[in-house]
């Protein structure tokens, strides 16, 4: 069955104002069944139901964290699974979405990397994570104003589907999101970054740098053997030149690996001439993780060194650690103590 979530509002299979009604049900009301669409004639709903699907998932399980964030585990129609996280901050609701089942990049500090690659998600599957979360939270999909593509997977290795999903996020009859509120995080695939610059959707770019030098980077990020820091930075500069958007550099601090003061200085040097913001991420441990996080006092010292050198820096304390929903902990596991409410 064809998924309606794969179609742009102008492509929906109805005529005239019915087309707009249907788009509204999907993206503004977040309907998960045709039965909900009470202002469409019954016969029309029945014929849509025969031909099209509205949900990318067989099963949606929710695991609330103590801190208010909620981890969602989705079972796709082929039985594979993926995850997303809902983070309701005071006045902005954010979702962290996945672009794949697992991830082929295999970064040593990341639980998703340890899973290996399952498959790419379709645009509909990427978007339905947000819709299903909104439905479960009893809000409109359009009430979610911030999207980070920082869940499972490397978005630039599934770029066609990610771009399609992003276009539907920005579409005024889709999720109508501002591009400034959509952040794509990448391990650093230069040709993907350049393509993103070309498409110029205005999305925010976050680069998972984690080390300023190739040698250190190769110890923790296998794709660093293929793409050197200099090549990645060249692509990032091109992105900055076209979009004029400040680029975020993510840096997960790992004890004895990338947390030396000289690395802070090298990082500051690397970012000269670029409008950058460094996000230091304390390492979130997971079962079997082969690396250790930098102690808090050294995280603060690393941040101080960057600030001293004029680099805008913040420390990101991840949410959802207790349910395995924090950065790098997504590994398709239910926290042991919780019984999932079914959607």
> Do residues 255 and 293 lie in contact, with contact meaning Cβ atoms separated by under 8 Å?
yes
Q: Known binder of ligand: residue 96?
A: no
Residue 157 binds ligand SAH (CB under 6 A):
no
In the list ligand SF4, ligand SAH, none, the entry touching 106 (Cβ below 5 to 8 angstroms by class) is ligand SF4
Residue 302 binds ligand SAH (CB under 6 A):
no
Question: Rounded to whole angstroms, what are the CA distances from 211 to 17, 156, 188, 329?
Answer: 53, 20, 12, 20
Question: Annotated catalytic residue: which of 6, 250, 305, 327?
Answer: 327
> Do residues 236 and 197 lie in contact, with contact meaning Cβ atoms separated by under 8 Å?
no
Q: Known binder of ligand: residue 173?
A: no
**Closest-CA residue to 56 (of 9, 111, 122, 152):** 122
Task: Let me know if 96 is a catalytic residue.
Answer: no
For residue 160, the surrounding DSSP H or E stretch is helix 159-170
Question: Rounded to whole angstroms, what are the CA distances from 259 to 185, 251, 262?
Answer: 21, 10, 8
In the list ligand SAH, ligand SF4, none, the entry touching 281 (Cβ below 5 to 8 angstroms by class) is ligand SAH
Residue 187 binds ligand SAH (CB under 6 A):
yes
* Interaction mask 211-250, ligand SAH, x per CB under 6 A: ---------------------------------------x
Task: Let me know if 49 is a catalytic residue.
Answer: no
Nearer CB in complex with ligand SAH: 65/186: 186
Within residues 167-186, the interface with ligand SF4 by CB under 6 A covers none
| HSE of 243, CA atoms in CB hemisphere, 13 A | 26
> Do residues 220 and 291 lie in contact, with contact meaning Cβ atoms separated by under 8 Å?
yes
d(CA 139, CA 327): 25
d(CA 130, CA 85): 9
Smallest distance from ligand SF4 to CB 282, Å: 15
* Interaction mask 101-140, ligand SF4, x per CB under 6 A: --x-xxx--x-xx---------------------------
For residue 136, give both structure tokens.
């479960």
- Identify the residue among 34, 109, 135, 240 touching ligand SAH (CB under 6 A): 109
Question: Annotated catalytic residue: which of 83, 125, 250, 305?
Answer: 83
> Do residues 85 and 69 lie in contact, with contact meaning Cβ atoms separated by under 8 Å?
yes
Within residues 249-288, the interface with ligand SAH by CB under 6 A covers 250, 252, 281, 283-284
Q: Rg of the chain's alpha carbons, rounded to an integer? A: 20
In the list ligand SAH, ligand SF4, none, the entry touching 174 (Cβ below 5 to 8 angstroms by class) is none
In the list ligand SF4, ligand SAH, none, the entry touching 190 (Cβ below 5 to 8 angstroms by class) is none
Quick one: 129 exposed, middle or buried, by C-beta within 10 A (0-12, 13-18, 19+)?
Answer: buried
> Do residues 247 and 275 lie in contact, with contact meaning Cβ atoms separated by under 8 Å?
yes
Residues making contact with ligand SAH (CB under 6 A): 109-110, 150, 154, 185-187, 208, 250, 252, 281, 283-284, 327-328
**What residues are labeled active site?**
83, 327
Binding site listing for S-adenosyl-L-methionine: 153-154, 185, 208-210, 284
């Amino acid at each position: 069955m064809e998924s309606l979530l794969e179609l742009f509002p102008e492509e929906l299979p109805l005529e005239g104002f019915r087309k707009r009604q249907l788009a509204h049900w999907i993206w503004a009301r977040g309907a998960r069944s045709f039965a909900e669409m009470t202002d469409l004639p019954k016969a029309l709903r029945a014929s849509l139901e025969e031909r099209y699907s509205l949900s990318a998932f067989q099963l949606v399980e929710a695991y609330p964290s103590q801190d208010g964030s909620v981890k969602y585990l989705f079972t796709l129609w082929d039985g594979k699974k993926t995850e997303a996280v809902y983070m309701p901050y005071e006045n902005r609701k954010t979702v962290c979405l996945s672009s794949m089942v697992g991830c082929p990049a295999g970064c040593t500090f990341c639980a998703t990397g340890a899973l290996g690659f399952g498959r790419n998600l379709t645009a509909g599957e990427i978007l339905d994570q947000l819709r299903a979360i909104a439905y479960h939270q009893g809000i409109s999909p359009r009430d979610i104003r911030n999207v980070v593509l920082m869940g499972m997977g490397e978005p630039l290795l599934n770029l066609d589907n990610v771009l399609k999903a992003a276009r539907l996020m920005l579409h005024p009859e889709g999720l109508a999101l501002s591009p400034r509120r959509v952040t794509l995080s990448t391990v650093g695939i230069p040709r993907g970054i350049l393509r993103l610059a070309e498409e110029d959707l205005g999305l925010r770019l976050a680069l998972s740098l984690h080390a300023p030098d190739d040698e250190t980077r190769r110890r923790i990020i296998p794709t660093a053997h293929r793409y050197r820091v200099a090549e990645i930075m060249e692509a990032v500069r091109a992105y900055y030149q076209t979009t004029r958007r400040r680029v975020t550099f993510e840096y997960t601090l790992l004890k004895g690996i990338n947390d030396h003061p000289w690395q802070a200085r090298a990082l500051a040097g690397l970012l000269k001439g670029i409008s950058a913001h460094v996000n230091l991420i304390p390492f979130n441990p997971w079962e079997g993780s082969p690396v250790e996080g930098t102690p808090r006092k050294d995280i603060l010292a690393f941040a101080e060194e960057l600030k001293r050198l004029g680099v805008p820096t913040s420390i990101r304390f991840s949410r959802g650690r207790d349910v395995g929903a924090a950065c790098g902990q997504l590994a398709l596991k239910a926290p042991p103590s919780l019984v999932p409410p079914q959607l």
